Chain A
Amino acid sequence: MTPHFHLSGGTVNFGATVALRNVHFYLEPGEFVVLLGANGSGKTTMVKALLGLVPLSKGRLDVFGTPLAKFRDWGRIGYVPQRASAASGVPASAFEVVLAGRLARSRKWGLHTRDDARAVREALELVDMADKHREPVETLSGGQQQRVLIARALAGEPDVLVLDEPVSGVDLEHQESFATTLGELNRGGRSVLLVAHALGVIEPLVSRAVVLTQGEVTYDGKPLRELHDSHVHHHPHSAEQPPRFSQPAGGPR
């Protein structure tokens, strides 16, 4: 099957700084991949590069089997960016925020359609926020705002969900309910690419872990207990290298 994302030799430079160096990465349909690494290791840059939000200086990226420049089927991707809050300058209801995630599958002018409203309702139900659809997002708790942003990504009925540290700043109880939701979505057939600081509560769901260290992939394989330990109990901000494995980070065969 065609991988959802296939990045080969991906390099991203910000001025003189190399943020991502010769990265090989793929995400197969149905996979649940977690992208781990310390702060500043290039996780967010890699995710943004996969979505075309940050240009590659070198390398090749295919999205759903199409070179990025020609890719148009954006409804297949749902993205939850790293964001402290869902609030903006003007009040917006949870419904309105989630509806914005529906644009890729819908007409861009005029009012939303009945089908859009249905997709928004379903997305809010999936994250257990249906009863809050009229609430202004800025009055919701951090965990609830996060769930609204996940619903926004789901409103386009995507095949793959890309989430950038969605549980940072969310308490453990909500992390667990979030993990349950993600597990259900994954079992429902969506693939998941999750950026995280540590494996934590999502460990049982993960099919593959990729570790970035200073912009390079230093591990790509089963989510091992060592990864968990070295990231949870040691010093996540130190530059210590996670275990290096002999197998190279390969593409799909």
Chain B
Amino acid sequence: MDIFASAWNGFWNACPFEFCRWDFMQKALVAAALVGVTAPAIGIFLVQRRLSLMGDGIGHVAFTGVAAGFLFGTLPLVTAIMAAILGALAIELMRERGRTEGDVALAVVFYGGIAGGALLMGLSGTSNTNILTYLFGALLSVNRPDILAALGISIVVLGSAMLLRRVLFAVSYDEEVARISGVSVRAANLLVAVAAAITVGVTMRVVGILLVSGMLVLPVAAVQQLTRSFNATFVGSLALGLLVSIAGVVTSYYLDAPPGATIVMGAIVAFVLASVFARARAVV
């Protein structure tokens, strides 16, 4: 443990910037970096299936989970992830059954999640300040358990996305052909849904429920305008996710602004720059 502690201290001591001296900034930077690389790794499969807003739907359900945590006096993060998983499975199953269109299924989950959250929050008498930290994130208050949870989830989600990339690509690209290649399409889709749900759970601590989907989708949306293959998009969006997360935290330190907002604004700036660059390249 001493080795880790000295490595950790040594790393931050080597950092020439003033913000590296603060304990809360060190934790914020690590948490944001973990979320920054993990969220696009699962978001890319949502974008490919044209389900970019699924992350948002899951986030809204997570809000109900947070409220349930307050009501029952348990850790909001745990109930949020549980609710997010249930919401993601519900969206996936509604979509698979085909009776409800994907976007209608999402709409039901969106409004159900917010209404459920508001209801439970009201019953539990939670203060508005507390609610706001979940809606917009509370990166500067992340503690050691938060970081460990983010680390564990990053390893599991990134590991699954990389190990099963061939199957997840095939299923997101063409479900029917994947099915007659002997792939269990349902298992693959549920895996993406659950991975998206737990990613939303930890991302929520960093950028907040309302901006969660931005972290899943925006790095992919920016990078894909400049890439010519899935592979390059995958690698590029992880790198961009990492970059905007760190840049966003640093910017928030100097501007004294909420880090969730600066991270997502950074991703949007990257998206706009990529669009302009892609346009310019097409003209030339």
A interface residues (Cβ-Cβ under 8 A, vs B): 48, 51-53, 72, 74-75, 77, 79, 81, 83, 88-93, 95-97, 99-101, 103-104, 106, 108-112, 134-136, 152-153, 156
Contacts and interface: CB of A to CB of B under 8 A. Distances in A.
Contacts of B49: 88-89
A130 B154 CA distance: 38
B166 A90 contact: no
B170 A91 contact: no
A88 B172 contact: yes
Given A96-B169, A103-B166, A103-B170, A81 B177 contact: yes
Q: A79, A90, A103 — which one has the most chain B CB atoms within 10 A of its CB?
A: A90
Interface residues of B, number: 32
B28 interface: no
Given A79-B177, A90-B230, 18 more contacts: A52-B180, A53-B176, A74-B181, A74-B182, A79-B180, A81-B176, A88-B48, A88-B49, A88-B172, A90-B44, A90-B224, A91-B227, A93-B230, A100-B170, A103-B178, A106-B166, A108-B164, A135-B228
Contacts of B164: 108-109
Contacts of B230: 90-93, 96
A103 B167 contact: yes
A139 to B, nearest CB: 8
A104 B182 contact: yes
Nearest to A138: B228
Contact of A53 (B180, B224, B231): B180
A51 B183 CA distance: 14
> Which 6 residue pairs across A and B have the least CB separation, nearest first?
A93-B229, A74-B182, A100-B170, A104-B181, A103-B181, A90-B48
Nearest to B44: A90
Contact of A100 (B173, B179, B220, B231): B173
B173 A91 contact: no
B48 A152 contact: no
A77 B180 contact: yes
Interface string B223-253: 0100111111100000000000000000000
B15 interface: no
A105 to B, nearest CB: 9
Contacts of A101: 177, 181
Contacts of B178: 100, 103
B283 interface: no
Contacts of B220: 90
A50 B182 CA distance: 15
B279 interface: no
Interface in B93-149: none
Contact of A96 (B44, B47, B181, B231): B231
Contacts of A93: 228-231
Main secondary structure of the interface of A (DSSP, over half): loop
B229 A53 contact: no
A152 B167 CA distance: 14
B26 to A, nearest CB: 34
B39 to A, nearest CB: 15
A100 B177 contact: yes
Interface in B243-269: none
A14 to B, nearest CB: 11
Contacts of B176: 48, 51, 53, 79, 81
16 contacts: A75-B181, A83-B174, A88-B49, A89-B47, A89-B49, A89-B172, A93-B230, A96-B231, A97-B173, A100-B170, A100-B174, A103-B181, A108-B167, A109-B166, A112-B166, A156-B181
Contacts of B233: 90-91
A103 B182 contact: yes
B183 A136 contact: no
A152 B227 CA distance: 21
B52 to A, nearest CB: 8
B173 A51 contact: no
Contacts of B181: 74-75, 100-101, 103-104, 156
A172 B164 CA distance: 40
Given A72-B182, A103-B170, A103-B183, A91 B224 contact: yes
A31 to B, nearest CB: 20
A135 to B, nearest CB: 7
Given A88-B173, A90-B220, A74 B48 contact: no
A116 B200 CA distance: 35
